[in-house]
């Protein structure tokens, strides 16, 4: 242990402002000198929401009844509690000063009005908050639930299971590679595309035999542009989501496969009524690049843009819960900075990278390479999005309900019962979405046959360098 961090017994003093206070007694953490505490009211308040602690400004000579101490600029002559010493306040993002475990070069500056804590834990600016958050996480580990194991998955948007190959994907080759390297791929399939798959097709058999490494989730309904971002009324959103659900159920009956009730919205667009409809119709989660896609709905919007009531902890916990409690599994484009994946791992968030069939233009080696990078971040469990949702947002999930409790025993005011679900009308039949999907599939297959040039997988639409401006 670093000499600056001394873990000794301290008299417990109980804070009052932490959101954990109804469950546990927050630890009292002194900040010296007191004016360094007074300079950062938003920062300390955000950390009090994130960890069961209560901060209090102190002077070096008045350290009684503390459980821990953050000393800024000067070390106390004596402290019989855990102490984190910071040489000073954060002046510039990530100064190059080397940082030892247990000591930090600086503490974070005050959060700007409306700034999310996650903004201080991003590539290029994370050292100050990372050290402080690590200190608080270790300090309060015995007061919080054990952190979830790391979960990971790749998601490939758009393919269907009509044939063994889709575009650059050969499902048999993909399964073989996933088995060899231990990763998992979830195919985000458009429900409209599920209509021609059948139980005995080669692709269906591969998914059935390789369910440990290959799974399916739901990608929109018709894939009619940003269709899930359009509904402005709950009833319209429910019509769309219920049709996706019915098509998915029909696909499952026809093929014997299971599709995770996790929605990957086309073009990363999701209106708030659509999010509520997903919850009402029994989806376990939504998987997207932004926690509030209806606020962060354009490329110009910051990926953490959120409603004021969401507070400073957006994208801080393993999952965000939005719109009546729908869990959000954050995902990132395949080329997302690996530094940010390490930060996600620190936060216990799932490590989900996505792209399109072009990622496999050179075979599945790119996935194996990315899996090896992700595996360096810890003891990673590769699994389906449904399993990730059940692990990180346990409770009322579709599978939990089916396995553990009859629907009538579940009290969830946000959920519709089977009768209400069945009463949601179908939308009018339209030919245009079918034509569009067939054209898209023909384009993807032609690309793989090199009737059109294959893009460089490192610059393909699924491999842009950041997730925060992602579009599907």
Q: How far is CA 215 from CA 103, 139, 229, 438, in A?
A: 44, 39, 25, 23
Residue 328 beta carbon to Zn ion: minimum distance, rounded to whole angstroms: 18
Chain Cα centroid distance, residue 204: 28
Q: Which stretch binds Zn ion (CB under 5 A): 80-88, 165-173, 258-266, 439-447?
A: 258-266
Question: How far, in Å, CA of 188 to CA of 184, rounded?
Answer: 13
Contacting residue, 157, 222, 227, 333, with Zn ion by CB under 5 A: 157
| Min CB(342)–Zn ion separation in Å | 28
Measured from the CB atom, is 205 or 357 closer to Zn ion? 357
Dist CA 126 CA 132 (whole Å)? 10
Q: Which stretch binds Zn ion (CB under 5 A): 230-238, 261-269, 380-388, 452-460?
A: 261-269
Give me the long-range contacts of 9-14 (CB less than 8 A, separation at least 24): 9/80, 10/65, 10/66, 10/67, 10/68, 10/80, 10/81, 11/64, 11/65, 12/67, 13/65, 13/66, 13/67, 14/54
**Strand, helix or coil for residue 186:** strand
Over 430-466, what HEC string results? CCHHHHHHHHHHHHHHHHHCCCCCCCCCCCCHHHCCC
Question: What span, in angstroms and rounded, lies between the C-alpha atoms of 25 and 67?
Answer: 11
**Quick one: 294 or 354, whose CB is closer to Zn ion?**
354
CB 265, min distance to Zn ion, A:
9
**Among residues 204, 289, 384, 472, the one that binds Zn ion under rule CB under 5 A:** 472
What is the nearest approach in angstroms of Zn ion to the Cβ of residue 434? 16
Look at the block and give the residue holding tokens 């990971």: 152
**Please, what is the minimum distance in Å from the beta carbon of residue 472 to Zn ion?**
5
Q: Which of residues 5-24 bind Zn ion (CB under 5 A)?
A: none
Segment near Zn ion (CB under 5 A); pick from 21-29, 40-48, 177-185, 265-273? 265-273
How far does Cα 322 stand from its chain's mean position?
12
Interface segment toward Zn ion; rule CB under 5 A; list 59-67, 69-77, 156-164, 207-215: 156-164
In the bound complex, which residue of the shown chain has the CB atom lying closest to Zn ion?
A: 157
Does position 158 interact with Zn ion (CB under 5 A)? The reply is yes
The three-class DSSP label of residue 406 is coil
**Best CA proximity match to 316, nearest among 86, 58, 63, 136:** 136
Find the part of the chain contacting Zn ion (CB under 5 A) among 139-147, 154-162, 298-306, 338-346: 154-162
Write the CB contacts of 223 (distance below 8 Å, at least 6 apart in sequence): 158, 190, 192, 193, 266, 433, 436, 437, 440
Closest approach, Cβ 35 to Zn ion, in A, equals: 52
- In angstroms, how far is CA 26 from the centroid of its own chain? 27
CB of 266 to Zn ion, least distance (A): 5
> Among the candidate windows 73-81, 110-118, 263-271, 429-437, which touches Zn ion by CB under 5 A?
263-271
For residue 5, what are its two tokens? 């961090």
Of 192 and 398, nearer to Zn ion (C-beta) is: 192
Least distance to Zn ion, CB of residue 60, Å: 58
Binder among 15, 266, 291, 433 for Zn ion (CB under 5 A): 266
Query: By C-beta, is 20 or 166 nearer to Zn ion?
Result: 166
Query: Residues in the site for Zn ion, rule: CB under 5 A?
Result: 157-158, 266, 472
């Amino acid at each position: 242990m670093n000499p600056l961090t001394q873990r000794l017994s301290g008299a417990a003093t109980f804070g009052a402002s932490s959101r954990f206070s109804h469950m546990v007694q927050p630890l009292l953490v002194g900040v010296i000198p007191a004016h360094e505490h007074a300079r950062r009211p938003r920062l300390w308040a955000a950390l009090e929401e994130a960890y069961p602690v209560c901060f209090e400004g102190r002077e070096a000579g008045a350290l009684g009844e503390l459980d821990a101490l953050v000393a800024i600029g000067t070390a106390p002559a004596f402290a019989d509690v855990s102490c984190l010493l910071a040489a000073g306040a954060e002046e510039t993002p990530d100064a190059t000063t080397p940082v030892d475990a247990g000591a930090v070069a600086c503490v974070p500056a005050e959060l700007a009005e409306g700034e999310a804590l996650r903004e201080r834990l991003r590539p290029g600016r994370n050292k100050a908050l990372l050290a402080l958050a690590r200190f608080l996480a270790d300090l309060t580990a015995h007061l919080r639930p054990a952190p979830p194991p790391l979960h990971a998955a790749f998601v490939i948007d758009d393919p269907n299971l009509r044939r063994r190959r889709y575009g650059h994907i050969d499902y048999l080759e993909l399964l073989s590679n996933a088995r060899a390297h231990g990763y998992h791929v979830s195919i985000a399939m458009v429900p409209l595309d599920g209509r021609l798959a059948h139980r005995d097709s080669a692709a269906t058999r591969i998914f059935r035999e390789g369910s440990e490494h290959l799974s399916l989730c739901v990608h929109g309904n018709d894939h009619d542009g940003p269709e899930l971002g359009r509904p402005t009324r709950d009833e319209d959103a429910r019509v769309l989501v219920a049709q996706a659900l019915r098509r998915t159920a029909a696909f499952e009956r026809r093929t014997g496969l299971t599709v995770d009730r996790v929605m990957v919205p086309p073009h990363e667009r999701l209106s708030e009524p659509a999010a509520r409809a997903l919850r009402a119709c029994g989806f376990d989660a939504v998987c997207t690049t932004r926690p509030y896609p209806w606020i962060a709905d354009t490329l110009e919007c910051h990926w953490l843009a959120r409603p004021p009531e969401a507070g400073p902890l957006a994208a801080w916990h393993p999952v965000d819960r939005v719109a009546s409690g729908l869990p959000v599994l954050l995902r990132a484009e395949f080329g997302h900075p690996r530094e940010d994946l390490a930060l996600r791992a620190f936060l216990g968030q799932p490590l989900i990278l996505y792209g399109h069939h072009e990622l496999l233009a050179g075979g599945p080696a790119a996935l194996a390479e990315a899996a090896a990078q992700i595996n360096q971040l810890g003891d990673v469990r590769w699994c389906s999005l449904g399993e990730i949702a059940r692990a990180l947002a346990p409770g009322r999930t579709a599978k939990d309900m089916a396995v553990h409790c009859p629907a009538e025993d579940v009290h969830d005011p946000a959920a519709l019962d089977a009768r209400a679900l069945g009463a949601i009308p179908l939308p009018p039949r339209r030919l245009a979405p079918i034509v569009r999907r067939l054209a898209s599939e023909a384009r993807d297959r032609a690309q793989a046959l090199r009737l059109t040039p294959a893009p460089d997988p490192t610059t393909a639409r699924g491999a842009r360098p950041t997730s925060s401006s992602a579009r599907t």
